[in-house]
Protein backbone atom coordinates (compact mmCIF):
# COMPACT_ATOMS: atom_id res chain seq x y z
CA UNK A 1 0.00 0.00 0.00
CA UNK A 2 1.14 3.53 -0.74
CA UNK A 3 2.90 4.95 2.39
CA UNK A 4 0.76 8.07 2.24
CA UNK A 5 -2.40 5.98 2.21
CA UNK A 6 -1.12 4.01 5.19
CA UNK A 7 -0.71 7.20 7.18
CA UNK A 8 -4.10 8.45 6.08
CA UNK A 9 -5.73 5.22 7.23
CA UNK A 10 -3.97 5.49 10.57
CA UNK A 11 -5.37 8.99 11.02
CA UNK A 12 -8.82 7.74 10.09
CA UNK A 13 -8.58 4.86 12.57
CA UNK A 14 -7.48 7.20 15.37
CA UNK A 15 -10.27 9.63 14.53
CA UNK A 16 -12.79 6.77 14.51
CA UNK A 17 -11.57 5.56 17.90
CA UNK A 18 -11.86 9.00 19.42
CA UNK A 19 -15.32 9.49 17.89
CA UNK A 20 -16.47 6.17 19.33
CA UNK A 21 -15.29 7.28 22.77
CA UNK A 22 -17.11 10.57 22.26
CA UNK A 23 -20.34 8.80 21.28
CA UNK A 24 -20.12 6.54 24.33
CA UNK A 25 -19.56 9.49 26.65
CA UNK A 26 -22.50 11.38 25.17
CA UNK A 27 -24.76 8.32 24.95
CA UNK A 28 -24.39 7.68 28.65
CA UNK A 29 -25.69 11.18 29.28
CA UNK A 30 -28.03 11.71 26.33
CA UNK A 31 -31.10 12.59 28.38
CA UNK A 32 -31.23 16.36 28.74
CA UNK A 33 -34.82 16.33 30.01
CA UNK A 34 -35.52 17.52 33.54
CA UNK A 35 -38.77 16.73 35.32
CA UNK A 36 -40.23 19.29 37.70
CA UNK A 37 -43.01 17.03 38.96
CA UNK A 38 -41.33 15.91 42.19
CA UNK A 39 -40.27 17.84 45.26
CA UNK A 40 -36.69 18.26 44.07
CA UNK A 41 -34.78 18.54 40.81
CA UNK A 42 -32.42 15.68 39.94
CA UNK A 43 -28.78 16.70 39.70
CA UNK A 44 -27.00 16.40 36.33
CA UNK A 45 -25.59 13.02 35.30
CA UNK A 46 -22.87 14.16 32.89
CA UNK A 47 -19.45 14.07 34.57
CA UNK A 48 -18.54 17.52 33.25
CA UNK A 49 -21.76 19.02 34.64
CA UNK A 50 -21.10 17.25 37.96
CA UNK A 51 -17.63 18.76 38.04
CA UNK A 52 -18.98 22.26 37.46
CA UNK A 53 -21.67 21.82 40.09
CA UNK A 54 -19.19 20.47 42.62
CA UNK A 55 -16.79 23.30 41.85
CA UNK A 56 -19.54 25.86 42.35
CA UNK A 57 -20.60 24.42 45.70
CA UNK A 58 -17.19 23.76 47.25
CA UNK A 59 -14.92 26.58 46.08
CA UNK A 60 -16.60 29.63 47.56
CA UNK A 61 -18.45 30.31 44.29
CA UNK A 62 -21.84 29.07 45.46
CA UNK A 63 -23.44 32.51 45.66
CA UNK A 64 -21.26 34.07 42.97
CA UNK A 65 -22.10 34.31 39.29
CA UNK A 66 -22.00 30.96 37.52
CA UNK A 67 -19.85 32.75 34.98
CA UNK A 68 -16.94 32.75 37.42
CA UNK A 69 -17.47 29.03 37.97
CA UNK A 70 -17.15 28.61 34.19
CA UNK A 71 -13.91 30.62 34.16
CA UNK A 72 -12.36 28.58 36.99
CA UNK A 73 -13.62 25.31 35.45
CA UNK A 74 -12.08 26.21 32.09
CA UNK A 75 -8.71 27.09 33.58
CA UNK A 76 -8.65 23.83 35.57
CA UNK A 77 -9.60 21.82 32.48
CA UNK A 78 -6.85 23.48 30.47
CA UNK A 79 -4.36 22.68 33.24
CA UNK A 80 -5.47 19.04 33.26
CA UNK A 81 -5.00 18.88 29.50
CA UNK A 82 -1.73 20.84 29.58
CA UNK A 83 0.57 17.76 29.33
CA UNK A 84 -1.12 16.86 26.06
CA UNK A 85 -0.98 20.49 24.98
CA UNK A 86 2.75 20.69 25.75
CA UNK A 87 3.37 17.45 23.88
CA UNK A 88 1.50 18.81 20.85
CA UNK A 89 3.50 22.03 20.93
CA UNK A 90 6.79 20.15 21.16
CA UNK A 91 5.80 18.11 18.10
CA UNK A 92 4.74 21.30 16.33
CA UNK A 93 8.09 22.94 17.12
CA UNK A 94 10.03 19.91 15.87
CA UNK A 95 7.89 19.91 12.73
CA UNK A 96 8.59 23.60 12.16
CA UNK A 97 12.34 23.04 12.44
CA UNK A 98 12.18 19.96 10.22
CA UNK A 99 10.15 21.83 7.62
CA UNK A 100 12.65 24.66 7.68
CA UNK A 101 15.41 22.18 6.87
CA UNK A 102 13.36 20.36 4.23
CA UNK A 103 11.91 23.36 2.42
CA UNK A 104 14.66 23.68 -0.23
CA UNK A 105 14.59 19.94 -0.90
CA UNK A 106 10.79 19.85 -1.14
CA UNK A 107 10.81 22.73 -3.58
CA UNK A 108 13.47 20.93 -5.58
CA UNK A 109 11.30 17.79 -5.68
CA UNK A 110 8.34 19.73 -7.00
CA UNK A 111 10.49 21.35 -9.66
CA UNK A 112 12.09 18.02 -10.62
CA UNK A 113 9.00 15.81 -10.89
CA UNK A 114 6.51 18.45 -12.05
CA UNK A 115 3.06 16.90 -12.57
CA UNK A 116 4.00 13.42 -11.30
CA UNK A 117 2.02 13.71 -8.06
CA UNK A 118 2.55 10.10 -6.99
CA UNK A 119 6.34 10.35 -7.31
CA UNK A 120 6.40 13.67 -5.46
CA UNK A 121 4.36 12.17 -2.61
CA UNK A 122 6.66 9.15 -2.38
CA UNK A 123 9.75 11.31 -2.26
CA UNK A 124 8.15 13.66 0.26
CA UNK A 125 7.24 10.80 2.57
CA UNK A 126 10.77 9.44 2.40
CA UNK A 127 12.11 12.89 3.25
CA UNK A 128 9.59 13.30 6.11
CA UNK A 129 10.72 9.98 7.58
CA UNK A 130 14.37 10.92 7.27
CA UNK A 131 13.87 14.29 8.99
CA UNK A 132 11.41 12.87 11.58
CA UNK A 133 8.59 15.12 10.45
CA UNK A 134 5.41 13.97 12.26
CA UNK A 135 2.18 13.89 10.25
CA UNK A 136 0.40 12.91 13.45
CA UNK A 137 1.45 16.22 14.95
CA UNK A 138 -0.50 17.94 12.18
CA UNK A 139 -3.75 16.01 12.71
CA UNK A 140 -3.92 15.12 16.38
CA UNK A 141 -4.50 18.64 17.81
CA UNK A 142 -7.59 19.16 15.65
CA UNK A 143 -9.03 15.73 16.48
CA UNK A 144 -8.48 16.15 20.22
CA UNK A 145 -9.93 19.67 20.11
CA UNK A 146 -13.13 18.39 18.49
CA UNK A 147 -13.53 15.55 21.00
CA UNK A 148 -13.01 17.80 24.05
CA UNK A 149 -15.29 20.44 22.50
CA UNK A 150 -18.29 18.13 22.14
CA UNK A 151 -17.78 16.35 25.48
CA UNK A 152 -17.69 19.69 27.31
CA UNK A 153 -20.65 20.95 25.28
CA UNK A 154 -22.74 17.98 26.49
CA UNK A 155 -21.84 18.88 30.07
CA UNK A 156 -22.87 22.52 29.62
CA UNK A 157 -26.11 21.43 27.96
CA UNK A 158 -27.07 19.47 31.06
CA UNK A 159 -25.94 22.23 33.39
CA UNK A 160 -28.18 24.75 31.62
CA UNK A 161 -31.13 22.37 31.75
CA UNK A 162 -30.55 21.79 35.44
CA UNK A 163 -30.58 25.54 36.12
CA UNK A 164 -33.78 26.02 34.11
CA UNK A 165 -35.46 23.29 36.13
CA UNK A 166 -34.10 24.65 39.40
CA UNK A 167 -35.32 28.18 38.64
CA UNK A 168 -38.78 26.99 37.74
CA UNK A 169 -39.07 24.57 40.68
CA UNK A 170 -38.14 27.34 43.13
CA UNK A 171 -40.68 29.61 41.46
CA UNK A 172 -43.42 26.96 41.70
CA UNK A 173 -42.69 26.38 45.39
CA UNK A 174 -42.84 30.12 46.08
CA UNK A 175 -46.06 30.46 44.08
CA UNK A 176 -47.77 27.55 45.87
CA UNK A 177 -46.69 28.74 49.32
CA UNK A 178 -48.22 32.18 48.77
CA UNK A 179 -51.39 30.68 47.29
CA UNK A 180 -51.82 28.44 50.35
CA UNK A 181 -51.41 31.42 52.69
CA UNK A 182 -53.83 33.58 50.72
CA UNK A 183 -56.42 30.79 50.56
CA UNK A 184 -56.46 30.77 54.36
CA UNK A 185 -56.55 34.55 54.53
CA UNK A 186 -59.57 34.61 52.23
CA UNK A 187 -61.34 32.12 54.48
CA UNK A 188 -61.56 29.22 52.03
CA UNK A 189 -59.29 26.66 53.68
CA UNK A 190 -58.91 23.17 52.26
CA UNK A 191 -62.36 23.09 50.68
CA UNK A 192 -61.61 20.05 48.50
CA UNK A 193 -60.22 18.03 51.41
CA UNK A 194 -57.17 16.86 49.43
CA UNK A 195 -54.67 18.25 51.91
CA UNK A 196 -53.43 20.83 49.42
CA UNK A 197 -54.47 24.45 49.56
CA UNK A 198 -54.54 25.70 45.99
CA UNK A 199 -56.67 27.72 43.59
CA UNK A 200 -59.15 24.84 43.31
CA UNK A 201 -60.21 25.55 46.88
CA UNK A 202 -61.81 28.86 45.85
CA UNK A 203 -65.58 28.44 46.06
CA UNK A 204 -66.92 29.24 42.56
CA UNK A 205 -70.28 30.19 44.11
CA UNK A 206 -68.72 32.92 46.22
CA UNK A 207 -69.63 36.40 44.92
CA UNK A 208 -65.97 37.41 45.28
CA UNK A 209 -64.50 34.26 43.73
CA UNK A 210 -63.25 35.92 40.53
CA UNK A 211 -61.68 38.85 42.36
CA UNK A 212 -60.24 36.57 45.03
CA UNK A 213 -58.57 34.40 42.40
CA UNK A 214 -57.14 37.49 40.67
CA UNK A 215 -55.79 38.86 43.96
CA UNK A 216 -54.27 35.52 45.00
CA UNK A 217 -52.57 34.94 41.64
CA UNK A 218 -51.27 38.51 41.63
CA UNK A 219 -49.79 38.11 45.13
CA UNK A 220 -48.19 34.79 44.21
CA UNK A 221 -46.71 36.14 40.97
CA UNK A 222 -45.32 39.13 42.82
CA UNK A 223 -43.64 36.81 45.33
CA UNK A 224 -42.18 34.76 42.47
CA UNK A 225 -40.80 37.91 40.83
CA UNK A 226 -39.25 39.10 44.08
CA UNK A 227 -37.64 35.70 44.71
CA UNK A 228 -36.45 35.34 41.11
CA UNK A 229 -34.77 38.75 41.21
CA UNK A 230 -33.46 38.45 44.74
CA UNK A 231 -29.85 39.54 45.17
CA UNK A 232 -28.66 35.95 45.60
CA UNK A 233 -30.42 34.57 42.53
CA UNK A 234 -29.55 37.54 40.34
CA UNK A 235 -25.88 37.28 41.26
CA UNK A 236 -25.84 33.62 40.20
CA UNK A 237 -27.45 34.20 36.80
CA UNK A 238 -25.88 37.52 35.78
CA UNK A 239 -22.34 38.00 34.52
CA UNK A 240 -20.98 41.48 33.80
CA UNK A 241 -23.16 42.62 30.85
CA UNK A 242 -25.09 39.32 30.45
CA UNK A 243 -28.42 39.29 32.28
CA UNK A 244 -28.72 35.48 32.36
CA UNK A 245 -25.55 33.47 31.75
CA UNK A 246 -27.68 30.37 31.01
CA UNK A 247 -29.22 32.12 27.99
CA UNK A 248 -27.42 33.12 24.79
CA UNK A 249 -25.47 36.38 24.74
CA UNK A 250 -27.69 37.78 21.99
CA UNK A 251 -31.23 38.99 21.30
CA UNK A 252 -32.89 36.15 23.27
CA UNK A 253 -35.10 37.01 26.25
CA UNK A 254 -33.24 36.77 29.53
CA UNK A 255 -36.08 34.70 31.03
CA UNK A 256 -36.77 31.75 28.69
CA UNK A 257 -40.43 31.28 27.72
CA UNK A 258 -42.33 27.99 27.72
CA UNK A 259 -41.41 26.92 24.18
CA UNK A 260 -37.73 27.59 24.86
CA UNK A 261 -37.43 25.66 28.12
CA UNK A 262 -39.37 22.71 26.67
CA UNK A 263 -37.21 22.57 23.54
CA UNK A 264 -39.95 23.40 21.06
CA UNK A 265 -38.25 26.45 19.56
CA UNK A 266 -34.73 27.71 19.03
CA UNK A 267 -31.51 25.79 19.52
CA UNK A 268 -32.64 24.23 22.77
CA UNK A 269 -29.96 23.00 25.14
CA UNK A 270 -32.41 21.37 27.54
CA UNK A 271 -36.02 20.35 28.01
CA UNK A 272 -38.29 20.71 31.01
CA UNK A 273 -40.86 17.98 31.41
CA UNK A 274 -43.85 17.70 33.70
CA UNK A 275 -45.01 21.27 33.18
CA UNK A 276 -47.94 22.61 31.17
CA UNK A 277 -47.91 25.87 29.25
CA UNK A 278 -50.77 27.47 31.19
CA UNK A 279 -49.12 26.62 34.50
CA UNK A 280 -45.69 27.87 33.41
CA UNK A 281 -47.06 31.17 32.13
CA UNK A 282 -49.16 31.70 35.26
CA UNK A 283 -46.31 30.99 37.67
CA UNK A 284 -43.80 33.06 35.69
CA UNK A 285 -46.34 35.71 34.71
CA UNK A 286 -44.49 38.69 36.21
CA UNK A 287 -41.02 37.36 35.31
CA UNK A 288 -41.44 36.61 31.61
CA UNK A 289 -40.50 39.53 29.41
CA UNK A 290 -38.42 41.22 32.10
CA UNK A 291 -34.78 41.54 33.10
CA UNK A 292 -33.24 42.12 29.69
CA UNK A 293 -32.16 45.06 27.60
CA UNK A 294 -34.97 46.88 25.82
CA UNK A 295 -38.71 46.30 25.78
CA UNK A 296 -40.20 42.89 26.74
CA UNK A 297 -36.96 41.67 28.27
CA UNK A 298 -35.26 41.23 24.92
CA UNK A 299 -31.51 41.19 24.35
CA UNK A 300 -30.19 39.10 27.16
CA UNK A 301 -26.70 40.10 26.04
CA UNK A 302 -24.87 42.42 23.68
CA UNK A 303 -23.23 39.89 21.32
CA UNK A 304 -19.87 40.57 22.95
CA UNK A 305 -18.93 36.96 23.73
CA UNK A 306 -19.73 35.62 20.24
CA UNK A 307 -17.59 38.32 18.63
CA UNK A 308 -14.71 37.83 21.07
CA UNK A 309 -14.91 34.04 20.71
CA UNK A 310 -14.56 34.30 16.93
CA UNK A 311 -11.66 36.75 17.13
CA UNK A 312 -9.75 34.73 19.73
CA UNK A 313 -10.41 31.50 17.86
CA UNK A 314 -8.94 33.01 14.69
CA UNK A 315 -5.94 34.27 16.65
CA UNK A 316 -5.43 30.89 18.32
CA UNK A 317 -5.62 29.10 14.95
CA UNK A 318 -3.17 31.59 13.43
CA UNK A 319 -0.65 31.11 16.24
CA UNK A 320 -0.94 27.32 16.06
CA UNK A 321 -0.45 27.25 12.28
CA UNK A 322 2.49 29.64 12.58
CA UNK A 323 4.17 27.51 15.25
CA UNK A 324 3.60 24.22 13.44
CA UNK A 325 5.56 23.34 10.35
CA UNK A 326 3.33 23.23 7.30
CA UNK A 327 4.27 21.11 4.29
CA UNK A 328 4.52 23.14 1.08
CA UNK A 329 1.54 22.85 -1.23
CA UNK A 330 1.98 21.34 -4.68
CA UNK A 331 2.37 23.88 -7.43
CA UNK A 332 -0.18 22.25 -9.74
CA UNK A 333 -3.08 24.56 -10.50
CA UNK A 334 -6.38 24.22 -12.25
CA UNK A 335 -7.16 25.83 -15.58
CA UNK A 336 -8.40 28.98 -13.85
CA UNK A 337 -5.13 29.40 -11.98
CA UNK A 338 -6.39 28.14 -8.59
CA UNK A 339 -4.51 25.77 -6.32
CA UNK A 340 -7.22 23.44 -4.94
CA UNK A 341 -5.11 22.07 -2.09
CA UNK A 342 -4.12 25.55 -0.97
CA UNK A 343 -7.76 26.63 -1.09
CA UNK A 344 -8.76 23.60 0.99
CA UNK A 345 -6.08 24.39 3.57
CA UNK A 346 -7.29 27.97 3.88
CA UNK A 347 -10.90 26.85 4.15
CA UNK A 348 -10.05 24.48 7.02
CA UNK A 349 -8.46 27.39 8.92
CA UNK A 350 -11.82 29.18 8.79
CA UNK A 351 -14.05 26.26 9.79
CA UNK A 352 -13.13 25.99 13.49
CA UNK A 353 -13.38 29.73 14.31
CA UNK A 354 -16.68 30.02 12.46
CA UNK A 355 -18.04 26.93 14.21
CA UNK A 356 -17.03 28.44 17.54
CA UNK A 357 -18.86 31.61 16.58
CA UNK A 358 -22.06 29.72 15.72
CA UNK A 359 -22.04 27.84 19.03
CA UNK A 360 -21.31 30.96 21.06
CA UNK A 361 -24.06 32.88 19.26
CA UNK A 362 -26.84 30.29 19.43
CA UNK A 363 -26.18 28.46 22.69
CA UNK A 364 -25.85 29.55 26.30
CA UNK A 365 -23.68 32.43 27.40
CA UNK A 366 -22.01 29.98 29.79
CA UNK A 367 -20.73 27.86 26.91
CA UNK A 368 -19.70 30.97 24.97
CA UNK A 369 -17.75 32.11 28.04
CA UNK A 370 -16.09 28.70 28.19
CA UNK A 371 -14.96 28.98 24.56
CA UNK A 372 -13.70 32.52 25.07
CA UNK A 373 -11.77 31.62 28.24
CA UNK A 374 -10.38 28.45 26.67
CA UNK A 375 -9.12 30.37 23.63
CA UNK A 376 -7.64 33.11 25.85
CA UNK A 377 -5.78 30.55 27.99
CA UNK A 378 -4.60 28.71 24.86
CA UNK A 379 -3.24 31.93 23.38
CA UNK A 380 -1.41 32.89 26.58
CA UNK A 381 -0.01 29.37 26.81
CA UNK A 382 1.11 29.46 23.16
CA UNK A 383 2.78 32.86 23.57
CA UNK A 384 4.54 31.69 26.74
CA UNK A 385 5.70 28.50 25.02
CA UNK A 386 6.98 30.51 22.04
CA UNK A 387 8.89 32.85 24.37
CA UNK A 388 10.49 29.97 26.27
CA UNK A 389 11.34 28.20 23.02
CA UNK A 390 12.95 31.37 21.67
CA UNK A 391 15.04 31.75 24.82
CA UNK A 392 16.14 28.11 24.56
CA UNK A 393 17.07 28.57 20.89
CA UNK A 394 19.04 31.73 21.65
CA UNK A 395 20.84 30.01 24.52
CA UNK A 396 21.78 27.03 22.37
CA UNK A 397 22.83 29.32 19.53
CA UNK A 398 25.16 31.27 21.84
CA UNK A 399 26.96 28.21 23.22
CA UNK A 400 29.36 27.66 20.27
CA UNK A 401 30.50 31.28 20.46
CA UNK A 402 31.32 30.85 24.15
CA UNK A 403 33.26 27.71 23.40
CA UNK A 404 35.36 29.48 20.78
CA UNK A 405 36.47 32.09 23.26
What confidence tens digit (pLDDT) does each residue in 220-257 have?
A: 999 999 999 999 999 999 999 999 999 999 998 999 98
Of all residues in the chain, what percent carry a pLDDT higher than 90?
29
**Mean pLDDT of the region 25-48:** 72
Residue 339 has a pLDDT of 46
Residue with the larger pLDDT of the pair 29 and 231: 231
Of the listed ranges 60-74, 179-193, 285-299, 307-321, the least confidently predicted one is 307-321
What's the pTM? 0.82
Residue 140 has a pLDDT of 65
Residue 105 has a pLDDT of 84
Residue 225 has a pLDDT of 96
**Mean pLDDT of the region 253-279:** 81
Instruction: Kindly write down the DSSP assignment for every residue of 215-250, as one continuous string.
Output: HHHHHHHHHHHHHHTSHHHHHHH-BTTBS-TTS-SS
Of the listed ranges 190-194, 229-233, 287-291, 303-307, the least confidently predicted one is 190-194
Q: Which long-range contacts (CB under 8 A, 24 or more apart) does 349-357 make?
A: 349/317, 349/318, 349/321, 352/142, 352/145, 352/313, 352/317, 353/310, 353/313, 353/314, 353/317, 354/310, 356/309, 356/310, 356/313, 357/306, 357/309, 357/310, 357/313
- Which residue ranges make up each domain of the chain? 3-154+304-330+340-393
Q: Is the pLDDT of residue 277 over 80?
A: yes
Mean pLDDT estimate for the chain: 80
Q: Is the pLDDT of residue 340 over 50?
A: no
pLDDT band (50, 70, 90) for residue 378: confident
User: What is the Cα–Cα distance from 379 to 376, expressed in whole angstroms?
Assistant: 5
User: What is the Cα–Cα distance from 386 to 239, expressed in whole angstroms?
Assistant: 33
Residue 297 has a pLDDT of 79
Q: Which of 233, 220, 237 is nearest to 286 (CA)?
A: 220
Highest mean pLDDT among 123-132, 172-181, 325-334: 172-181
pLDDT band (50, 70, 90) for residue 138: low
Amino acid sequence: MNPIRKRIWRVYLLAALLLICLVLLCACNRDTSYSVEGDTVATPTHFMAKLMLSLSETSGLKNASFGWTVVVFTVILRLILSPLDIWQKIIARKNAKAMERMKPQLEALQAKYGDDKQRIQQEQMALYKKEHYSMWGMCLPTIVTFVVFFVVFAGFRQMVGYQYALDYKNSVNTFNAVVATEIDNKGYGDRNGDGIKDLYDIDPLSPTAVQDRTDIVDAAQTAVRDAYYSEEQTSIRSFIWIKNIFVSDNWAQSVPNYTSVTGQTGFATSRLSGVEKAEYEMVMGKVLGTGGYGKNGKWNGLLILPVLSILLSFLSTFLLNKAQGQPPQPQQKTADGQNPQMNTSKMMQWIMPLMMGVFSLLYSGAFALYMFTSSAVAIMFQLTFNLVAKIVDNTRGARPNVAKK
